């Protein structure tokens, strides 16, 4: 059984305004499961909030959130006192995409009354649109807190114990980082972790925790010792707005390249391969990046230069609802430099100020190259369509995996609806012009001017604050430059230590090789002693018994009388004839029985003491067996020779007898 869906539509009553001194009154329409069940007129904000808690709607919809609050600060407060499962929706769009509510309603097939809309009619339209999933939701950003774990004091000066003290500090930073990480994970707090590694430990680490400073401070206490320091700072951000429906019209498709770390590199490339943005900054968190790129278009692909993407990259990809592109192998420095050089030549306004920007730009273009053929195919199909449809939306949907025909059909349907509705709404709007409307509009504009003047003063104050921050950053930059110069010697020492480690590894390899050679020398000494003492014999070795191998052996060893053969088969009769002629016996690992009688060459089974590439070492004592085999072979040959002579005599006698007769 499904739960009931309740949506509130609200609009401020005529004659009331949030910028006036009078308490504003509202018209409220309550929609339940697609049917209006109640409506209220002229109710104050306090009663509106009580009704929201009574009905607990999933959405509170309006055509202008500034009718509920005076500004962003009040909007934050209002979002915190509503039920956790209730969101505020502005159905008319946001920023540049703001539209008249009647135009929005007509686009989505909602019938609107003719003439000027009353507040309750506007409230009903808001409820119906939000129920269809139209509009932008106010999405409060969770409080964020930064935890900085760093060294307790400067370690740039010191005596002979400086290196040892520096290593102990880095180990302490690493230990405290792990303790903080365990605390956050134990209490189920979501966080991003960025670390600056060094020899033996960490220089510093930064946690961006997605929880309030009060919550984090109860778990992680500030610390300041001579070796390590923990600083807990709150983050305060404005509320971003996010589109309620999944697909936006008129937005640019983007590819986001990221290079995560203490300094994060960010690059945006559109679906035409043109760079949109490329910068780097320290300690950027997920929300900072998402808020920045979301203002520029729809991110369809998030990419990185590593074949194993970090959790930071994966979380941003998931939050943006984008595909994650991962290269098959880490992108090499040469390829990154090549891509960055090509981009800078074609787009001179792009500044690749550091390696982080370069890596992010290379990652974005690598992802673009992977879909370039698909985009060209889409553009070729769209080229013949002369209608003013949202072609960028089609490209975005196809890149995200949708079929081209389906994406085109949806874009055409929206185009047809917009043509029909815009003509009808323009006619309705023109009918409303009257003197009363002008007077009311003038009042609204005066109130708007007063509000904007307040905003201008507020912005001027913010500019002064930012100028002060810029001056502080300049001083911080000068301090960091000084520290970098002081740490040049540290980097040199680190490079030398790495070189020493590499040389030590080479020495270890040489030692292993020397040990192996020493063992071989000892083994050869033992064999040589046995050979000298007459207990062993070195015999030439061949793998297969063939005529060419035997000829080579005879040329190299003219007085050879023994040969060791790995495998006799297949039998080469010419080779055996040569062995018999040169009176060379064969040693082998296998037993071949009486084969030696057939081939008339001794073939003796023996097990070598050692086997080398060109010879084997065998124990002596087999000579008598070889001699016996030769004797047997000689007897066989004598017998065969005798039988041959007898055969000749018989043949001669037979021929003589025939002649005499």
pLDDT digits (tens, 9 = 90+) for 223-245: 888 889 999 887 655 445 555 54
Three-state DSSP at 636 gives helix
CATH class of 6-140: alpha beta
If you classify domain 144-235 with CATH, what class do you get?
alpha beta
Angstrom distance (rounded) from CA 139 to CA 242 = 6
Q: Are 276 and 270 in contact (CB under 8 A)?
A: yes
The pLDDT value recorded for residue 420 is 57
Cα–Cα distance between 395 and 385 in angstroms, integer?
14
Q: Are strands 144-151 and 87-90 parallel, antiparallel or unpaired?
A: unpaired
pLDDT interval class at 47 (50, 70, 90) = very high
> For residue 95, with 0-12 CB atoms within 10 Å meaning exposed, 13-18 middle and 19 or more buried, which class applies?
exposed
Amino acid 265: pLDDT = 92
Contact 253, 297 (CB under 8 A): yes
* Residue 313, H or E segment: helix 311-320
Give yes or no for a contact between 615 and 541, defined as CB atoms under 8 angstroms apart: yes
248-280 pLDDT, tens digit each = 445 788 999 999 888 889 999 999 889 988 888
Q: Of the spans 167-171, 178-182, 557-561, which averages the highest pLDDT?
A: 178-182
Mean pLDDT of 538-558: 86
Asked if 139 and 241 touch (Cβ cutoff 8 Å), the reply is yes
Residue 657 has pLDDT above 90, yes or no: no
Residue 443 confidence class, pLDDT cut points 50, 70, 90: low
> Residue 313 — left, alpha, or beta (φ > 0 → left; ψ -120 to 50 → alpha)?
alpha
Q: Select from 306, 298, 273, 252 the least CA-distant residue to 374.
A: 273
Q: What is the spatial distance between Cα 207 and Cα 150, in angstroms, rounded to a whole number?
A: 11
Structure tokens, 100: 């008249």
The stretch 58-78 carries a mean pLDDT of 80
* Identical topology for domains 144-235 and 246-430: no
The pLDDT of residue 244 is 53
**CA contacts within 13 A on the Cβ side of 449:** 6
Q: What is the mean pLDDT of residues 371-397?
A: 81
Please, which contacts does 521-525 make with residues 24 or more away whose CB atoms are closer than 8 Å? 523/610
Q: CA–CA separation, 32 vs 7, rounded Å?
A: 6
* pLDDT the model gives residue 404: 80
Q: Given a cut of 90, is residue 83 above it in pLDDT? A: no
Question: In the predicted model, is pLDDT for residue 575 greater than 80?
Answer: yes
pLDDT of residue 19: 66
Which pLDDT value is given to residue 245?
A: 45
Of 37-41, 385-389, 474-478, give the range with the top mean pLDDT: 37-41
CATH code for the domain defined by 246-430: 3.30.420.140
Per-domain boundaries in the chain: 6-140, 144-235, 246-430, 534-645
Q: Is the predicted pLDDT of residue 2 greater than 50, yes or no? A: no
**Amino acid 433: pLDDT:** 43
pLDDT at residue 477 in the model:
81
CA 362, CA 8: separation in Å to the nearest integer? 47
Sign of CA dihedral 381, 387, 388, 393: negative
pLDDT of 239 reads: 47
pLDDT tier for residue 9 given thresholds of 50, 70 and 90: very high
Average pLDDT over residues 385-400: 79
DSSP secondary structure letter of residue 253: E
Give buried/exposed letters for 51-76 (b at 16+ CB in 10 A, else e): bbeebebbbbbbbbbbbbbeeeeebb
pLDDT at 581: 85
pLDDT at 60 over 90: yes
Is the pLDDT at 511 greater than 90, yes or no? no
The residue ranking higher by pLDDT, 458 or 553, is 553
Residue with tokens 């074609």: 346
- Residue 392 Cα to chain centre, angstroms: 26
Min mean pLDDT across 26-35, 111-120, 266-275 is at: 111-120
Among 85-99, 404-418, 647-661, the range scoring the smallest mean pLDDT is: 404-418
Q: Is residue 536 within 8 Å of residue 527, measured between CB atoms? A: yes
pLDDT at 337: 92
Using 50, 70 and 90 to split pLDDT, how confident is the model at 596? confident
Mean pLDDT of the region 409-434: 58
Higher-pLDDT residue of 308, 463: 308
Mean pLDDT computed over 194-207: 84
CB 27: neighbour CB atoms within 10 A? 23
Work out the burial of residue 254: count CB atoms within 10 Å of its CB; fewer than 13 is exposed, 13-18 middle, 19 or more buried.
buried
As a whole number, the mean pLDDT across the chain is 82
The residue ranking higher by pLDDT, 94 or 142, is 94
Residue 131 pLDDT greater than 80, yes or no: yes
Q: For 431-487, where are the alpha helices, taking DSSP H only?
A: 435-486
- Out of 125-129, 150-154, 227-231, 374-378, pick the least confident: 150-154
User: How large is the average pLDDT for residues 52-62?
Assistant: 93
**pLDDT-derived band at 160, boundaries 50, 70, 90:** low
Residue 436 has pLDDT above 60, yes or no: no
């Amino acid at each position: 059984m499904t739960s009931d869906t309740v949506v509130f539509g609200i609009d401020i009553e005529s004659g009331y305004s949030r910028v006036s001194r009078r308490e504003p009154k509202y018209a409220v329409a309550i929609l339940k499961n697609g049917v209006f069940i109640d409506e209220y007129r002229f109710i104050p904000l306090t009663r509106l909030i009580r009704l929201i808690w009574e009905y607990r709607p999933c959405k509170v919809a309006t055509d202008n959130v500034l009718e509920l609050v005076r500004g962003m600060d009040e909007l934050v407060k209002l979002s915190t006192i509503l039920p956790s499962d209730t969101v505020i929706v502005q159905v008319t769009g946001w920023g540049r995409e703001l539209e008249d509510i009647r135009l929005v309603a007509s686009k989505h097939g909602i019938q609107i009354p003719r003439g000027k809309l009353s507040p309750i009619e506007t409230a009903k339209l808001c409820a119906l649109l939000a129920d269809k999933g139209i509009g932008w939701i106010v999405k409060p950003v969770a409080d964020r807190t930064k935890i900085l774990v760093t060294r307790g004091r400067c370690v740039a000066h010191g005596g002979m114990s400086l290196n040892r003290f520096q290593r102990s500090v880095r180990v302490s930073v690493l230990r405290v980082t792990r303790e903080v990480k365990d605390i956050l994970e134990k209490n189920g707090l979501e966080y991003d972790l960025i670390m600056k590694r060094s020899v033996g430990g960490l220089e510093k680490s930064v946690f961006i925790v997605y929880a309030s400073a009060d919550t984090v401070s109860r778990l992680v206490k500030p610390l300041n010792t001579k070796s390590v320091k923990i600083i807990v700072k709150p983050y305060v951000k404005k509320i971003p707005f996010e589109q309620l429906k999944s697909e936006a019209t008129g937005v640019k498709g983007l590819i986001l390249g990221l290079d995560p770390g203490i300094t994060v590199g960010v690059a945006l490339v559109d679906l035409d391969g043109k760079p949109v943005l490329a910068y780097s900054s320290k300690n950027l968190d997920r929300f900072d990046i998402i808020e920045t790129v979301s203002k520029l278009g729809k991110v369809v692909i998030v990419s990185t230069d590593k074949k194993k993407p970090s959790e930071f990259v994966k979380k941003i990809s998931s939050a943006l609802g984008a595909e994650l592109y991962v290269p098959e192998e880490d992108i090499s420095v040469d390829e990154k430099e090549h891509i960055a050089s090509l981009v800078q030549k074609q787009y001179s306004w792009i500044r690749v100020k550091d390696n982080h920007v370069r890596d992010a730009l290379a990652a974005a273009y690598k992802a673009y190259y992977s879909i370039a053929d698909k985009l060209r195919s889409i553009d070729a199909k769209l080229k013949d369509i002369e209608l003013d449809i949202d072609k960028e939306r089609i490209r975005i949907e196809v890149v995200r995996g949708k079929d081209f025909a389906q994406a085109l059909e949806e874009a055409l349907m929206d185009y047809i609806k917009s043509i029909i509705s815009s003509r009808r709404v323009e006619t309705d709007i023109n009918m409303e012009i009257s003197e009363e409307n002008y007077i009311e509009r003038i009042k609204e504009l005066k109130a708007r001017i007063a509000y904007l003047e307040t905003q201008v003063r507020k912005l001027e104050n913010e500019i002064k604050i930012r100028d002060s921050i810029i001056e502080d950053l300049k001083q911080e930059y000068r301090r960091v430059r000084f520290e970098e110069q002081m740490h040049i010697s540290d980097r040199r020492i680190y490079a030398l230590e790495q070189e020493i480690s590499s040389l030590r590894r080479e020495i270890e390899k040489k030692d292993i090789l020397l040990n192996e050679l020493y063992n071989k020398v000892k083994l050869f000494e033992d064999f040589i002693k046995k050979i000298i003492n007459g207990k062993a014999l070195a015999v030439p070795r061949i793998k297969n018994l063939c005529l060419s191998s035997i000829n080579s052996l005879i040329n190299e060893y003219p007085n050879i009388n023994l040969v060791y053969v790995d495998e006799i088969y297949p039998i080469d009769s010419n080779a055996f004839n040569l062995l018999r002629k040169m009176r060379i016996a064969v040693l082998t690992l296998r037993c071949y029985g009486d084969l030696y009688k057939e081939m008339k060459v001794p073939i003796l089974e023996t097990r070598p003491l050692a086997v080398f590439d060109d010879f084997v070492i065998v124990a002596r004592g087999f000579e008598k067996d070889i001699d016996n085999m030769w004797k047997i072979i000689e007897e066989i040959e004598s017998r065969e020779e005798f039988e041959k002579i007898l055969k000749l005599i018989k043949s001669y006698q037979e021929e003589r007898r025939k002649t005499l007769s």
